Structure 1
Amino acid sequence: MDVNERLRAALLRAGISCAQLADAAGVDAKTVERWISTGRTPHRTTAHKAARSLGEDMAYLWPSLGEGKRGRGLHPELIALHATRADAPLDMWRALFTQARERIEILVYAGIFLHEQWPGFAETLGHKAGAGCRVRILLGDPDAPPVTERGVEEKYGHGIETRCRVALMHYGPLIGMPGVEVRQHATTLCNSIYRGDDQMLVNAHVFGMNAFGAPVWHLRRESDGGVFDRYAESFEAVWALSHRAVKE
């Protein structure tokens, strides 16, 4: 059975442990863990208690209990929406990359917040590649006009170009490693994309605002041609226009 990513994301967002949710719902912690790990659906009364304690819609967490109704009108591929990147918990980012088995893809200008908050991030990517996971990273070219323009738009000056160079420094040890490809691009970045297999975090970009203050969409691929695939196609389009990164 599938993992219930919506429930796991709701727990992280609410800052509630499995044990705490179990107390609120009147079940034991192992039952809550099974709701997450096996996708098991609880009894309606229990589900209602759990959803209420998380501040979520029951039909959103367990669509089968919605009797065919769309929970809050949300798209089935949307697991969670975080108002800002700063609101998205680090555990969510860790889970995205550490649980990936087949592919990891990153499209950013710099995205060095991952290295700042997770000192072993680059090493983790190296280990994933060594285990057979394909890792592709797209960084902004600090000499590209769109990068300079973004700095002006965000009133960030030349800070973005500098962060692009710092990002390349962080990823430098991975360049040339089997299973890892690091490239640079000169495109206008509409969204930063972070993918781990069939899950994706999309950091939307808002004119005049730094990425940390913009929303993050947590998506899970459900079918061909969906929202997830549109962002995946965007990654491929930028990849086709990129060039290999060289260690500085």
Structure 2
Amino acid sequence: MLGEIEMPNERLRAAMAAGGWTYAALADKVEVDPKSVERWVNLGRTPRRATAMLAAETLGEDVHALWPSLRQARPARAVSPELVAIYDQRADVPVSAFVDLLTQAREHIDVLVYAAVFLHEAYPRLNEVLRERAADGCAVRIAVGDPDSTNVQQRGGEERFGHGIESRCRLALMHYRPLAGVPGIEVRTHATTLYNSIYRADDQVLVNAHIWGVNAYGAPVWHLRRNGAGGMFDTYASSFDAVWETATPVREG
């Protein structure tokens, strides 16, 4: 290209010399013309990605070390079409945002947490809202952390909350247990590693990301709205389903 400065690829030259590779030998191995290999070395030309990867594998080198320009990834989208809002931390999200989301649900409500007792503490009518949604035909699934599980206990140590998180899981169970057995509502306990707390209502979800050593209220939240199949929303919905399959039903009591 006019104006482009061509420089030898000394890293490639050294790798070939160390392995005793000639232009012709490497060209035969990767199925190109020897003059192409010569241009890679002397003019710094970059081969096609598939050819470069085969050449690097043949030489026992990292492809990006030989041709750094191949490190360039596809440009990321500045904003996902599914992203409605992002909050620096859960404490910035008004409880009304959670309640409004659940109240508007018509088909699905899924909640995956360890405890999240802040909802009941800030909105004592939460169970009534869930009963009302279920009575209108909405399928409600609640998964809270098993306080006796290793992962819950480990999270307490990681967040420097100690046994407090176990106590909050037990408190969450006390809040949700009256819903066990209500038609349309299922309550289960799970023992999985919780990477994100998920609050889904139909095609919208609030995702509270978890950060090692940070309490959930101090971690970010993103609000997503489903925009076609296979997006971020579906990724979190599938994650909920996977955890749900491992969870244990809570008995009435």
Normalising by structure 1, report the TM-score: 0.70
The one of 145, 148, 157 equivalent to 2:153 is 148
Is the counterpart of residue 182 in structure 1 residue 206 in structure 2? Answer: no
CA distance in 2, matches of 1:143, 1:172: 17
Deviation digits for residues 95-137 of structure 1 (CA, Å, limit 9, x no counterpart): 1101001110000001111001101001110111011110000
User: In the alignment, which of 120, 123, 141 is matched to residue 118 of structure 1?
Assistant: 123
**Secondary structure at the counterpart of residue 156 of structure 2:** helix
Partner of 2:137: 132
Say which one has the larger Rg: 2
* Partners of 1:107 and 1:137 within 8 A in 2: yes
Which residue of the partner structure matches residue 242 of structure 2?
A: 237
Query: Does residue 202 in structure 1 map to residue 207 in structure 2?
Result: yes
Query: What's 1:221 paired with?
Result: 226
Give distance in 2, aligned partners of 1:165 and 1:189.
16
Give the residue type in structure 2 aligned to 1:194: Y
1:104 aligns to 2:74 (yes or no): no
**Offset, 1:211:** 0.2
Correspondence list, 1:26-175, <5 A: 73-175=78-180
Q: Distance in 2 between matches of 1:247 and 1:212?
A: 30
Distance 2:249 2:99 in 1: 26
1:90 Cα deviation (Å)? 2.1
Distance, in Å, in 2 between the alignment partners of 1:238 and 1:220 is 21
CA distance in 1, matches of 2:113, 2:244: 12
Return the letter of the residue paired with 1:135. V
AA partner of residue 149 (structure 2): A
Give, as a single letter, the amino acid of the residue that structure 1 aligns with 2:122.
Q
Q: Distance in 1 between matches of 2:97 and 2:91?
A: 12
Contact 2:181–2:252, Cα closer than 8 Å, also in 1: no
Q: What secondary structure sits across from 1:228 in the alignment?
A: helix
Corresponding position of 1:40: none
SS of the residue 2:186 aligns to: strand
Mean CA deviation greater in 197-206 or 237-246: 237-246
Which portions of structure 1, spanning 4 or more consecutive aligned residues, are displaced by more than 3 angstroms? none
8 Å CA contact 1:100–1:133 kept in 2: the answer is yes
The answer to whether the 8 A contact 1:168-1:247 is kept is: no
CA distance in 2, matches of 1:76, 1:109: 29
Give the Cα–Cα distance (whole angstroms) in 2 for the partners of residues 246 and 165 of structure 1.
Answer: 14
**What percent of counterpart residues are identical?**
59
In the alignment, residue 244 of structure 1 is paired with which amino acid? P
* CA offset digits 1:21-62 (Å, max 9, x no partner): xxxxxxxxxxxxxxxxxxxxxxxxxxxxxxxxxxxxxxxxxx
Aligned residues: 177
Instruction: Provide structure 1 residue ranges, at least 5 long, that are not aligned to the other structure.
Output: 1-71
Deviation at 1:247, TM superposition (A): 4.7
Aligned alpha-carbon RMSD (Å): 1.0
TM-score, normalised by the number of residues in structure 2 = 0.69
**Structure 2: runs of 5 or more not aligned:** 1-76
2:209 maps to amino acid: A
SS of equivalent to 2:91: helix
Equivalent AA in structure 2 for residue 190 of structure 1: Y
Aligned counterparts of 2:251 and 2:115: Cα–Cα separation in 1:
15
